[in-house]
Amino acid sequence: MARRAEAGNKKRISAEEWQRKLREVRVAKEDMNRVVMNFLVTEGYVDAARVFERESRTAPGVDLEQITDRMEIRKAVQSGDVEQAIERVNDLDPEILEQGHELFFHLQQQRLIELIRQGQLAEALEYAQEYLAPRGEDHPELLQDLERTAALLVFEDVGSSPLADLMDVAQRQKTASELNAAILASQSQEAEPKLPNLLKLLMWAQKQLDEKAVYPRVDNLVTAELHVDGGN
Amino acid sequence: MAEVARQQLVDRLQSDDSASRLQALRCIKNCVIGNRRQKQHYIHLDAVKLLVAVLASPTADAAQLVQAAAAVGSFAASKEGLLSVIHHRGLLHLLKVLQSSEDVKVVEAAVRAVKSVCRTADEPILDVLSPPSLGVLPRLVSLLASPTSNVAESSAAVLACCCDRGREQQNAVAVAGAVQPLVALLASQQHSKQEAALAALAALSSGNAATSEDILEHASVLSSLLGAIKRGRSPHTRFVAAVCLVNLSQHIPALGQEELSTPQGLQQAVLPVLVQLLDADMAENVPGALCQLVEHSAELQLAAADADAVAKLCAILRQQWRAPPVVEGALRCLAALCSKREEQRRQVVDARVLPVVVAALSHQSLPMRAAACMCMRSLSRSTKLLRGHLGDVQLAAPLLALVDEGDTEVAAQAMGTLTNLAVDFSAVKEQLLAHDGVARFAALADSMQPVLRLHGVWGLSSVAYMAAPEVKQSIAHHLPWSSVVALLEDSEPEVREKVMLLLRNMLHSERNIEAVLTWSCNALLEAARDVLQRSEGQAAAELKHHALYVVVNMASSTAAHKEAVMQSGWPPLLVQQLRDENEQVREAAVWAIINLTWSRDGDAEETAVRVQQLRLLGVEEELRRLEQDECIAVKERASTALDQLRALEGGGDDDVAMEAVV
């Protein structure tokens, strides 16, 4: 391997030395716990967050009830029940859809898609006229998307039309994620947990270090085992 | 079909069956949230009135109140919905529910709805803090500690909205105990809470010493704010924190323990942040805030100019998409920065924004016109610009139009600018005369408003400065002598001073003297004398100075005019003025003596008589004393005068020649 071949020019750090250096870095346990809690809360693992709160005495920083709501709203979109999702978001915080024009449009678009998927074409047509069409007048920036969505009503077999992507499950996921991020933002929370980013930073830092030194690496993030390269 | 369904839902709002009513409330709410068109449909069906009725109903349960409040809040998020909500007293009932409900969910829904009202309203809503509603403040304060999403933020926003209504409301908010929890929110991990608290503190501290001092009692405030202007998450956060600091810095004790807790220290810390934010394309009125900061401090104006604020403000003026309040702020800020400094005026002209400023003079909104006028006034103080660039634009007409407006403040600013433009070397002077400037100024000199009288007279005196005889004739024509007499007795010292300046400028140059004497029915010298005598030593140096130059100008003329001075009762007064504490007054008095003792056109005999009369008044002793004067100019003039007296004594009258005309 290339790394091994170049090893001669690089600084070599033994396992013992590495361990000693690691021990010198002090990371407060509370900080670690907060990172974990942040992950549980953001990803919506309410039960785990509750247990973790009890065991580690780390404050979740948000109302855990709201997480349940958020998860159920996401689930509703993922399972195609957009109407229920809209109602629950409005119960949670009416401002989210009052102010988020684009998000609301995407939800309405999804609603239309679901009606078409269920073959309720008359309802779909009425919904498009009553709710979607006026949005184009108020928000011209949505017009193009709006026309594309309305075209769904034209094709007999949407699945084989150029608009097939809209009917895909991935579209549901996209809408669900957008809504989830908006709810998190309304609660002043990041849309992404901090942990994945920290791990990305770890990988990046190791890559930088690989250029200069041979040291015990973390190759497997799941086990976080230190792997000493270069035949030590 | 949809229309029928909507009507049915609205009808069900009055249903006896509470479950059916609740369901209708929910449906309508979900229909209107985020849907402007649906709101319009329901407004036409009078749904808002029925929703408010639910809020007002004593039998409505918590679930119904939550839905009704959310629906009303959604209607209030659109302009037409807000009108309907206000019309049906929806805000009043929301506030009642907010104040008196014991149900957490109901209170939350109500505060969000009230916030929606505040957010949509362009102007502060009267109902929010009419005295009966003040009872809601303790409830709002308690909600600042709510952990539920957006509730603390909503409450802070409503409190900020209250504060915008005026001092009394600001004080009531502080008394209700809002300061402490708002300060606590500044340290929140959630930036939306921080931002809401910043906005509320900015509104609370705006122009109010008492509430500012309340806020400053919390030791952590300044460090939180200083942190926020540097590390604030968004430009908006940094801006609002800067506004807080600008407000607070005006009420902080001058002797802080550390540099950053003194007014100057804080202001110097905020200044670069605001100047930098001028570059950010944000809707907030950054120029207005910067203007508030530098308005009263030459030092901060200089610092802002050094940080290149003028170029940035000019860039804003060139961006046509900017909201009127931002443009207005930029004009005001430029007015402050150019008020005393030629370099900055030059920069404005070089940035080619003069046409924008001129256009703003005729803008539809009064505050904009006023701001443009202030800016133009600062620019018109530059003699270089008056000779050049300002002559190329049509200024006289829009400025004269502003003078005719009802607003005294704006009219005064416009007159101040016109007065600057009216001086002789100005290229705008021609424009001004072409637009009947003399008649308009003369009309203002008759105004009941002291400030307009002042500027009217001031404008005329500028027009008269070095003017052609026809212009002076026009002034005499439009301002009858009786008006001059009245103005010389004006209650305002400044008006008296400027009318004296007018007389001085009118008299300037010998060829005008006869015309002025005719205008005054030969009462000019007496009138000037009376003003000085009436003021019994309390006259301002400026007034005396101008009055003395009336005499100096007269005495520079023919023997007959000199004799008129001698007969007017002025000589004893002149000798007396030689002892005045102001050096310019002493100098002017010596000039008058020099001119009176100067012989020309073979009037040696008359001159000898005048000298004799002055000697009897003790003029020689006074002049000798002035040879030791601390002011060099006075000293030299006194020597000249004495030389002239001595020369006359020796019979010769042709070796010293000095005559003053100013």
Neighbouring C-alpha atoms within 13 Å toward the C-beta of B596: 29
DSSP-derived secondary structure for B470-494 = HHHHHHHHHS-HHHHHHHHT-SSHH
Q: How far apart are CA B144 and CA B154, in angstroms?
A: 9
pLDDT of B116: 93
Q: Which two tokens stand for residue B231?
A: 């590390």
* Structural domains of chain B in order of their starting residue, each with its CATH number: 542-662 (1.25.10.10)
Comparing CB atoms, the residue among A66, A94, A187 nearest residue B112 is A94
Closest CA to B347 of B317, B308, B386, B381: B308
Contacts B70 to A, Cβ<8 Å: 90, 94
Closest CA to B371 of B356, B388, B382: B356
For residues B136 and B99, the answer to whether their CB atoms sit within 8 Å is yes
Residues on B contacting A at a C-beta cutoff of 8 Å: 1-2, 26, 29-30, 33-38, 70, 73-74, 77, 112, 116, 147-150, 189-193
3-state secondary structure of B653: coil
Helix axes B151-163, B104-120, angle to 10 degrees: 50
**Does residue A5 register a pLDDT over 50?**
no
For B347-377, write each residue's pLDDT tens digit: 888 888 888 998 998 898 888 999 999 999 9
Q: Do A86 and B30 touch (CB under 8 A)?
A: yes
| Single-letter amino acid code for the residue at B143 | L
Closest CA to B149 of A44, A70, A73: A70
**Does residue B311 register a pLDDT over 50?**
yes
For A8-34, write each residue's pLDDT tens digit: 678 888 888 998 988 898 888 888 999
**Does residue B661 register a pLDDT over 60?**
no
ipTM of the modeled complex: 0.77
Residue of A nearest to B2 (CA): A130
DSSP-derived secondary structure for B165-212 = T-HHHHHHHHHTT-HHHHHHHHT-SSHHHHHHHHHHHHHHHTT-HHHH
Q: What is the mean pLDDT of chain B?
A: 87
Q: How many CB atoms lie within 10 A of CB B16?
A: 6
| Single-letter amino acid code for the residue at B549 | Y
Q: List, in sequence order, the alpha helices (H) in B250-294.
A: 263-277, 286-294
Task: Say if strands A216-218 and A226-228 run parallel, antiparallel, or are unpaired.
Answer: antiparallel
Least confident piece of the model among A50-64, A106-120, B534-548: B534-548
Mean pLDDT computed over A94-115:
93
Phi and psi angles of residue A216, each rounded to the nearest 5 degrees, phi first: -70, 115
Buried b (16+ CB within 10 A) or exposed e, B223-243: ebbbebbeebeebbbbbbbbb
Using the Cβ of A97 and the Cβ atoms of chain B, whether some distance falls under 8 Å is answered with yes
Contacts B1 to A, Cβ<8 Å: 126
Comparing CB atoms, the residue among B29, B190, B193 nearest residue A90 is B29
**Does residue B68 register a pLDDT over 90?**
yes
Q: How far is CA B250 from CA A111, B214, B329, B505, B580, in A?
A: 55, 13, 19, 43, 40
Q: Do B35 and A101 touch (CB under 8 A)?
A: no
pLDDT of B652: 41
Using the Cβ of A186 and the Cβ atoms of chain B, whether some distance falls under 8 Å is answered with yes
Mean pLDDT computed over B576-581:
89
Task: Say if strands A11-12 and A213-214 run parallel, antiparallel, or are unpaired.
Answer: parallel
Residue with tokens 């009376």: B530
pLDDT of A229: 62
Mean pLDDT computed over B500-513:
89
**Does residue A231 register a pLDDT over 70?**
no
Share of chain B above pLDDT 70, in %: 93
pLDDT of B131: 53
**Does residue B618 register a pLDDT over 70?**
yes
For B249-296, write each residue's pLDDT tens digit: 988 876 656 667 788 888 889 999 999 999 888 888 999 999 999 988
Q: Using a CB cutoff of 8 Å and minimum separation of 24, what contacts does B257-260 make? A: B260/B222, B260/B226
**Does residue A212 register a pLDDT over 70?**
yes
pLDDT of B469: 86
Task: Say if strands A213-214 and A216-218 run parallel, antiparallel, or are unpaired.
Answer: unpaired
Residue of B nearest to A130 (CA): B2
pLDDT of B130: 58
Q: How far apart are CA B272 and CA B231, in angstroms?
A: 14
Q: How far apart are CA A216 and CA B1, in angstroms?
A: 72
Q: How far apart are CA B364 and CA A70, in angstroms?
A: 49
